[in-house]
Amino acid sequence: MATLTMQNVTKIFGRDVIAVKDFNLEVKEKEFLVLLGPSGCGKTTAMRMVAGLEEVTTGEIFIDDREVTELPPRKRNVSMIFQNYAVWPHMTVYDNIAFALKLKKLHKDEIDRRVKETAGMAKIEMLLERYPSQLSGGQQQRVAVARAIAVNPDIFLMDEPLSNLDAKLRVSMRTELKAIHDKAGSTTVFVTHDQSEAMSMADRIVIMKDGEVIQVGSPDDVYHRSGSIFVADFIGTPPTNFMDVKIQKESNGTHLVNTHLNLLLEPEMAKHLNGYDKNHIVLGIRPENIVLVGESDAALSASCLVSEPQGSHQVVAIQLDDNIVKVVAPPNPIIAPGTDVHLIFKQETLRFFDPDTTLAIND
Amino acid sequence: MNKNPIKLGKLVRRTIFYLFIVTLAVSIILPVFFLVSLSFLSTRESYSFPLPLLPSLKTEYSLTHSDRGYLLSVYDKFDKEYQTVLDTAELEKMSVYMKNQIGTPYSIPKIEERIAELENGGKDTIFFSVRKNLLLNYTTFFQITRDAVPALLRSLQIAGLTILISLSIGSMAGYAFARYVFAGRDVLKFSVLFVRMFPGVAIALHMAIILANMGFYDKPIGLALVYSVGSIALTVWITASVFMGIPESLEEAAQVFGATKWQTFLRVTFPLALPGLAAAAMYTFLGAWTETVSAILLTQFNPTFSVVVYQSLLGAVGNVNLTAAGGLVLAIPSLIFTFFIRKYIQQMWGGMTI
Ligand SMILES: Nc1ncnc2c1ncn2[C@@H]1O[C@H](COP(=O)(O)OP(=O)(O)OP(=O)(O)O)[C@@H](O)[C@H]1O
Ligand SMILES: [Mg+2]
């Protein structure tokens, strides 16, 4: 149980591939932290530097107060679940789990006790004598988990551990991994590019892009209080809808206006624009915060392009000029293409972004 | 009716497939069968025409009087008649002939018994049959060839040394090629193959001079070095692909879980590479074990077994059936080695294949 601190960590491959750029992060004790970002944004690289598998170009890494930047992997007391599990095919499940314990020269009985205990946690007690080639993908994954918890690590690193499992198993393994984390209580860094995985498991999410940290916050924060257009767009399916609007101050209050829209902001929301001196913003609104209403109440009317029924709800796509706005609506009645729909926005959920910096104006 | 064309097409395809397989099998099996059969033939059989497909198990003799002494005849299965093979009064000559040419050892006292039968029985001719000693060629081979047993041991020693040298150097190079990126890697990897582009004979003479300067001429280590030059190229390529086939994450996992670089190699990389290394060892063994041309040139008083087999074909003692027996003896260690390694590779780690 430890904290992990990364200070100004940068990783440059070769001469000019900047994989991680000035990375600052503090992971609290027992925290489940998720690194989330699109493919190639440097998540794996960041994690491998913590493990010691990749040299740090500049910056420092601390586990508790111990600087580990230059230490070889074996001296860091971290453990890792690899994306392809990396269980050793020439060892039985038992030997896989016992490997690290044997290297630590623990007593035989102690090794046996710990192997059985962790195998029990990962639910593979009955597979101990098998070789990995005799296991299913999900079972191999459990072996990797058991091997990683057996060593009682300070930091637990997981690089997309669920990405090779089928959709159903992935969801059930999420719950189990989280339960194991709670039980073992180890500080965990979990890498994924699957945002629903991140949302459902994380205490805090770190959103990365091009090697940089874009936003750090609870799942609630990054979803409802996205700090930039990138985050608002990256998190959520379907993602946030964006519209370019002009700010018009009139006698009855502040309006957001474009060719389709003339929205009178409630005073609460208008306040957020007070310090803002440009006259354009990007308006962001999540699909579930747009509500279908009768024609008389509408802030915006347009015709439906297509509707995708999802069982519990339907996603209605609406064409406004050249961008498409998606709305999450109740499942019934199904809205036919071409029908006129009338919408209002839940004002308190609106996000305002600066079109130049792409950062959020309200927070 | 409609189904017929489909069935016919299938039939044709199957027939062609089996014809192909059978041709392949026959072209492999037939020479081996021929060699095995030949190694059990007597000298007389092996120089007869047509050559018998299978060795006979016993020989029918007839014995009768002649002007000079006795006439010994042998029944020829092909011509279906007795053919005179010897006309002599010397019993020892008769016994030696029966053993060496017909493969049926028959002692002089026994011949005397038969002659007594002829003299006292009042018959013109007597008939008798003698069982053939099938292993005679093998024992003879070891008796008549100059130091066959030491040569066998020497060959084993050379093959072992070659495996040791070429596998230790080759696998280190292979590991480097597989894991590290360095300037000129690909050029170097290809240039390793250059040594295999020359026929061994072409450089054997120079090798002889170099080895003589080193004091290794006509010594097992000398031949092992020469063989290693060729087989290192092979082992580098085999082991490089073996190491490339081992995911780096397996090594990284070992390091994360507490292993030093050396422990990682010993406990993860090496055991994982073992089947591949065994295969490389097998090829190296086969190459070193059967090589003859360089061995002829680079040895003088200490030949390898393959040289001994080759020499048995030459000179006064040269009999093809003896050479065949020697050739089979040469093949046996290769077979055993290949069999065990194959079995070992197949049985590893719960039947996993890599
Ligand atoms: N060994 C390497 N040499 C050169 N460039 C590398 C190396 N490893 C990674 N990179 C580059 O660094 C960047 C970050 O890679 P990284 O593997 O960390 O991405 P990631 O966020 O884990 O992506 P994914 O979600 O696809 O796994 C990429 O642009 C990648 O091409
Ligand atoms: Mg990755």
pLDDT at A198: 92
Worst-scoring range by mean pLDDT, A115-119, A339-343, B194-198? Answer: B194-198
Per CB distance under 8 Å, which residues of A are interface residues toward B?
Answer: 51-53, 72-74, 78-80, 82-84, 86-90, 99-100, 103-104, 130-134, 147, 151
Distance A40 CA to ligand 2 centre (A): 7
Burial state string for A155-171 with b = 16 or more CB within 10 A and e = fewer than 16: bbbbbbbbeebeeebbe
Query: According to the model, what pLDDT value does residue A130 have?
Result: 93
* Contact call for B258 and A72, based on CB within 8 A: no
Task: Inform me whether the C-beta atom of residue B249 falls under 8 Å from chain A C-beta atoms.
Answer: yes
Average pLDDT over residues A52-60: 94
Residue A88 to residue B254, Cβ atoms within 8 A: yes
Residue type, B14: R
Tokens of A219: 């799942």
3-state secondary structure string, chain A? CCCEEEEEEEEEECCCEEEEEEEEEEECCCCEEEEECCCCCCHHHHHHHHHCCCCCCEEEEEECCEECCCCCHHHCCEEEEECCECCCCCCCHHHHHHHHHHHCCCCHHHHHHHHHHHHHHCCCHHHCCCCHHHCCHHHHHHHHHHHHHHCCCCEEEEECCCCCCCHHHHHHHHHHHHHHHHHHCCEEEEEECCHHHHHHHCCEEEEEECCEEEEEECHHHHHHCCCEHHHHHHCCCCCCEEEEEEEEEECCEEEEECCCCEEECCHHHHHHHCCCCCCEEEEEECHHHEEECCHHHCCEEEEEEEEEECCCCEEEEEEECCEEEEEEECCCCCCCCCCEEEEEECHHHCEEECCCCCEECCC
Which residues are CB-neighbours of B257 under 8 A, at least 6 positions away?
A74, A79, A99, A100, A103, A147, A151
Q: Burial level of A211, CB count in 10 A (0-12/13-18/19+)?
A: buried
CA atoms lying within 13 Å on the CB side of residue B201? 3
What is the Rg, in whole angstroms, of the alpha carbon atoms belonging to chain A? 25
The whole-number average pLDDT for the span A213-228 is: 94
Residue B119: count of CB within 10 angstroms of its CB? 11
With the most atoms of ligand 1 within 8 angstroms of its CB, the residue from A15, A16, A17, A193 to mutate is A17
The answer to whether residues B51 and B324 touch, using CB atoms and an 8 Å cutoff, is: no
Do A186 and A3 meet the contact criterion of CB atoms below 8 Å apart?
no
Mean pLDDT value of segment A253-273: 88
pLDDT given at position B258: 93
Residue closest to A100 by CA, chosen among B249, B254, B260: B254
Both tokens assigned to A337: 């293409």
Q: Which residue of A has its CA nearest to B270?
A: A90
Joined tokens for residue A60? 């420092």
Chain B, nearest residue to A102 by Cα: B258
Task: Give mean pLDDT, residues A25-51.
Answer: 93
CB contact under 8 A, A88 and B249: no
Check pLDDT > 90 for residue B49: no
Task: Answer whether B352 sits within 8 Å of A104, measured CB to CB.
Answer: no
What part of B 288-347 touches A (C-beta under 8 Å)?
none
Asked if B271 and A90 come within 8 Å (Cβ–Cβ), the reply is yes
Domain B141-348 superfamily per CATH: MetI-like (1.10.3720.10)
Average pLDDT over residues B138-148: 84
Residue nearest to atom 3 of ligand 1 (CA): A13
State the pLDDT at residue B348. Answer: 61
Do the Cβ atoms of A226 and A71 come closer than 8 Å? no
Partner residue opposite A100 with nearest CB, options B249, B257, B354? B257
B259 neighbourhood in chain A, CB within 8 Å: 74, 99, 103
Quote the pLDDT of residue B279.
Answer: 84
Least CB–CB distance from A131: residue in B260, B352, B354: B352
Domain boundaries, chain B: 3-44, 58-133, 141-348
Ligand 1, atom nearest to A211 Cα: 14
Which range among A204-213, A333-342, B60-69 has the greatest average pLDDT? A204-213
Q: Report the C-alpha gap between A153 and A2 in whole angstroms.
A: 9
pLDDT at site A128: 94
More confident residue, B298 or A87: A87
Q: How far is CA A261 from the centre of its chain?
A: 33
* pLDDT value, residue A223: 93
Chain mean position to CA B341: 17
The answer, yes or no, to whether residue B353 has pLDDT greater than 50, is: no
User: In the β-sheet with A66-67, what is the strand arrangement from edge to edge?
Assistant: A17-27, A4-13, A58-63, A66-67
Joined together, the tokens standing for residue A171 give 């969801």
pLDDT at B349: 56
What is the average per-residue pLDDT within B92-100?
A: 89
CA A190 to each of CA A79, A168, A205, B250, B258: distance values in angstroms, whole numbers, following the listed order: 12, 19, 9, 20, 21
**Considering only CA atoms, which of B285, B288, B292, B291 is closest in space to residue B339?**
B285
What average pLDDT does this structure show over A191-213? 92
Beta bridge partners of B61: B74, B128
CB A215 within 8 A of CB A226: yes
Contact B256 A131 (CB under 8 A): no
CA distances from A348 to A250, A257, A361, B320 (A): 20, 18, 14, 102
> Is any atom of ligand 1 closer than 6 Å to the C-beta of A88?
no
- Ligand 1 contact, A44 CB (< 6 A): yes
The answer to whether the Cα torsion of B156, B158, B160, B166 is positive or negative is negative
pLDDT of residue B78: 82
Block residue for tokens 């596998």:
B167
- Report whether pLDDT(B294) > 70: yes
Q: What is the dihedral of CA A20, A21, A27, A31, to 10 degrees?
A: -50
Q: Are B298 and B158 in contact (CB under 8 A)?
A: no
Q: Residue B156's pLDDT band (boundaries 50, 70, 90)?
A: very high
Query: What is the Cα–Cα distance from A89 to A130, expressed in whole angstroms?
Result: 10
Beta-sheet strand order (sheet of A78-81): A78-81, A155-159, A187-192, A32-36, A204-209, A212-217
Cα-to-chain-centroid distance, residue B293: 15
Q: Which residues of A touch B271 (CB under 8 A)?
A: 90
Whole-number Å distance between alpha carbons of B345 and B354: 10
Count CB-CB contacts under 10 A for residue A316. Answer: 24
On the question of pLDDT at B338 being above 90, the answer is no
Which of A71-75, B102-106, B291-295 has the highest average model confidence (pLDDT)? A71-75
SS (H, E, C) chain B: CCHHHHHHHHHHHHHHHHHHHHHHHHHHHHHHHHHHHHHHCCHHHHCCCCCCCCCCCEEEEEEEECCCCEEEEEEECCCCEEEEEEEECCHHHHHHHHHHCCCCCCCHHHHHHHHHHHHHCCCCEEEEEEECCCCHHHHHHHHHCCCHHHHHHHHHHHHHHHHHHHHHHHHHHHHHHHHCCCCCHHHHHHHHHHHHHCCHHHHHHHHHHHHHHHCCCCCHHHHHHHHHHHHHHHHHHHHHHHHHHCCHHHHHHHHHCCCCHHHHHHHHHHHHHHHHHHHHHHHHHHHHHHCCHHHHHHCCCCCCHHHHHHHCCCCCCCCHHHHHHHHHHHHHHHHHHHHHHHHHHHHHHHHCCC
Kindly report the average pLDDT of chain B as a whole number: 87
Q: How many residues does chain A have?
A: 363
Using CA atoms, how far residue A12 sits from A40, A208, B8, B158, in Å, is: 14, 16, 65, 50
Per-residue pLDDT tens digits for A292-318: 888 888 888 888 999 999 889 999 999
Over residues B3-15, mean pLDDT? 80
- pLDDT computed for residue B354 by the predictor: 41
Domains, chain A, in order of start with CATH, read 4-234 (3.40.50.300), 241-353 (2.40.50.140)
Contact A147 B350 (CB under 8 A): no
